[in-house]
Chains A and B, each alone.
Chain A
């Protein structure tokens, strides 16, 4: 909102249609749209490890890239085991690609806030076990 006239805001929120791997990604995109932040969904895959023939053994695709901020965003979950895996990949990425900016966002329960501010489009996805299951 802060960077947009009201009409621009409405058009930005309504124009983006994107398939997401996980509901929390969709919610994050909605928040970015609300603030008028340009985003790309999973635009880049970084190779983290190759074998001697150049075959990719390990790669990492951050969830979002925010071009105006030059920032990759990875959303994470409440599960420590999954967080550990993502943290390890991010550490590796930072070592191999030191110029790449990436931020790990820990999932918070935003449902109540989203409802409070009238941004509860699909916010119900945040609660319950379905979201956790989809994260695996």
Chain B
């Protein structure tokens, strides 16, 4: 398995799972670089900010032409990454752009909203209400992004080979489960 895409909810520890996976597999991780490179290729650097802005604080609304150019650039970059192999792609609709591709494994990391809120609240030193508001906005933003740009539901389980709930697994354990799933798939193929 050469490419792993990880989709994650805010506060689900998805980034930590990716880091644990990186330690186990010695793959490289790509995330924000895809956004920045794609925005620059599309000659619309501000679209990177619009994409990052889960909470809608920048107030940017790229026009459709810019978004199409950006989406094309994201797809191109992801294809390039796939050719290089051995990479963990965090977010960026990798589960859709690379859907059905041989050698690509799609995982999603989730957790209950209350737990995600607790994690965010503790990490940032903010109230639970504020953390919940962040989670709600982030979920809505990511759901909207996939629906608008790719016409799919973010939480559609059919998009993923494995969905991991980190309520009971820590990132190391979750990464081990993904590794185990990869081994199983490779065994069944061979």
A interface with B by C-beta (< 8 Å): 1-7, 9-10, 13, 31, 34-37, 66, 68-71, 101, 103, 105-106, 108, 110, 113-114, 116-119
Contact A118–B131 (Cβ < 8 Å): yes
Contact B45–A70 (Cβ < 8 Å): yes
Contact B130–A35 (Cβ < 8 Å): no
B interface with A by C-beta (< 8 Å): 10, 13, 15-16, 19, 31-32, 36, 39-40, 45-46, 48-49, 52-59, 91, 119-120, 123-127, 130-131, 133-134, 137-138
Contact A68–B32 (Cβ < 8 Å): yes
What residues on B are CB-neighbors of A106 within 8 Å?
59
Contact B123–A7 (Cβ < 8 Å): yes
Contact B45–A117 (Cβ < 8 Å): no
Contact A117–B10 (Cβ < 8 Å): no
Q: How many A-B contacts if CB must be within 8 Å?
A: 90
Q: How far is the CA of A113 from the CA of B19 in the complex (A)?
A: 31
| B contact face: mostly helix, strand, loop, or mixed | helix
Partner of A6, one of B40, B123, B138: B123
Q: How far is the CA of A105 from the CA of B58 in the complex (A)?
A: 8
Contact A71–B133 (Cβ < 8 Å): no
Contact B58–A117 (Cβ < 8 Å): no
New A-B contacts (13) at CB < 8 Å, excluding given A2-B32, A70-B45, A117-B134: A2-B10, A2-B91, A6-B16, A6-B124, A37-B49, A69-B39, A103-B45, A110-B57, A113-B56, A116-B133, A117-B55, A117-B126, A117-B137
What residues on A are CB-neighbors of B32 within 8 Å?
2-3, 36, 68
Given contacts A70-B40, A71-B45, A101-B45, A6 and B55 within 8 Å (CB-CB): no
Q: How far is the CA of A102 from the CA of B32 in the complex (A)?
A: 20
Q: How far is the CA of A35 from the CA of B36 in the complex (A)?
A: 13
What residues on B are CB-neighbors of A71 within 8 Å?
45-46, 48-49
